[in-house]
């Protein structure tokens, strides 16, 4: 194993060339994570070149404070001039790094270290990427039925208890990778819902069909009938009668004479209608069936 370093410049602005035979393509991800943690920077991929005879990997990186989507109207200096207290992510940071690895795991790393922003302030930590650990912890709260607002309250309360004092709490809280922002909780919630329940463009209905099949397989005694949504002329209709509901139909005579309908809607973005059919009893309301539709038209309910 060998490693050679050639450095030109000063401590704050230099060019560094590293040549080593101890960094393979499998180790690159871990090395990048360690490099970013040690230097308090966040790198983004600028470009990835195809494999060539000389190198199997050619990756080019930029600092996250160079967002690339730059235009004169979004000039950070212009924004700061208008509002000196503004938080600006894009500073057109000139930092560059290239990593090249050949088939024999010989690696060449070229670094042009020149950041035009601070690396040690709390403001710079505001723009860090969310950590996988934080995302997984938040998703567990959503799995428990929490909303973005309640999940954030629980997350902050738990995080506060892990800090030694108020100063430690506020310093660590400024780090976005440790404590996501309010909008991050909303974004993670949207992604969680998309992964678990599907998106808006028909994915939700496909997920729903699979969930109903799984439910019927896990509960063979239940009756499940559904019509897949196919437009205004083919509404979504789901009818479910559980074993308990079947027992009520069999043992409670008034279930065949008197039915109350409890309707719920406007609870989610698809505006699905939920009808719970109940019958009266001395013990209270007994469920007799569940109907889910995409609208409340008479033709749909008579289907």
Whether the per-residue pLDDT at 204 is higher than 80: the answer is no
% of the chain residues with pLDDT over 70: 93
Residue 289, pLDDT score: 93
Whether the per-residue pLDDT at 1 is higher than 60: the answer is no
Whether the per-residue pLDDT at 260 is higher than 80: the answer is yes
Segment 275-295 mean pLDDT = 90
pLDDT digit string, tens, across residues 157-181: 999 999 999 999 998 898 898 999 9
Mean pLDDT check: name the lowest of 29-33, 81-85, 221-225, 288-292.
81-85
Instruction: Pick 155 or 280 by higher pLDDT.
Output: 155
Tokens 């235009």 sit on residue: 71
pLDDT digit string, tens, across residues 4-47: 888 888 888 899 999 998 888 888 999 998 998 888 888 999 99
Residue 11, pLDDT score: 83
Residue 271, pLDDT score: 77
Mean pLDDT check: name the lowest of 12-26, 80-94, 102-116.
80-94
Whether the per-residue pLDDT at 269 is higher than 70: the answer is no
- Mean pLDDT score of the chain: 86
Residue 272, pLDDT score: 83
pLDDT digit string, tens, across residues 119-147: 888 877 888 888 899 999 999 999 999 99
In whole angstroms, give the CA distance from residue 116 to residue 12: 10
Segment 243-261 mean pLDDT = 90
- pLDDT confidence band for 301 (50 / 70 / 90): confident
- The CA distances from residue 189 to 71, 139, 192, 203, in Å, are 32, 8, 5, 17
- pLDDT confidence band for 68 (50 / 70 / 90): low
């Amino acid at each position: 194993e060998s490693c050679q370093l050639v450095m030109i410049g000063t401590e704050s602005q230099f060019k560094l060339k590293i040549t080593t035979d101890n960094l393979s393509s499998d180790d690159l991800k871990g090395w990048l994570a360690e490099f970013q943690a040690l230097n308090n920077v966040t790198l983004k991929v600028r470009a990835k070149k195809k494999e060539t005879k000389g190198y199997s990997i050619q990756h080019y990186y930029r600092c996250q404070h160079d967002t690339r989507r730059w235009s004169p109207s979004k000039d950070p200096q212009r924004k700061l001039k208008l509002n000196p207290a503004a938080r600006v992510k894009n500073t057109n940071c000139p930092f560059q790094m290239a990593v090249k690895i050949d088939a024999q795991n010989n690696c060449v790393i070229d670094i042009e270290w020149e950041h035009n922003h601070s690396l040690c302030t709390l403001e710079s930590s505001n723009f860090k990427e969310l950590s996988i650990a934080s995302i997984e912890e938040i998703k567990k709260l959503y799995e428990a039925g929490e909303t973005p607002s309640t999940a954030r309250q629980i997350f902050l309360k738990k995080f506060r208890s892990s800090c030694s004092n108020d100063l430690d709490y506020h310093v660590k809280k400024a780090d976005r990778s440790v404590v996501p922002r309010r909008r991050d909780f909303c974004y993670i919630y949207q992604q969680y819902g998309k992964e678990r329940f599907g998106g808006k463009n028909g994915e939700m209905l496909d997920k729903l069909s699979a969930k109903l099949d799984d439910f019927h397989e896990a509960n063979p005694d239940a009756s499940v009938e559904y019509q897949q949504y196919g437009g205004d002329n083919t509404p979504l209709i789901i009818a479910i009668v559980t074993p308990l509901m079947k027992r009520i139909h069999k043992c409670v005579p008034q279930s065949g004479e008197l039915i109350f309908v409890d309707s719920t809607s406007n609870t989610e973005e698809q505006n699905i209608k939920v009808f719970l059919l109940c019958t009266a009893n001395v013990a209270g309301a007994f469920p007799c069936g569940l109907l889910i539709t995409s609208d409340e038209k008479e033709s749909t309910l008579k289907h």
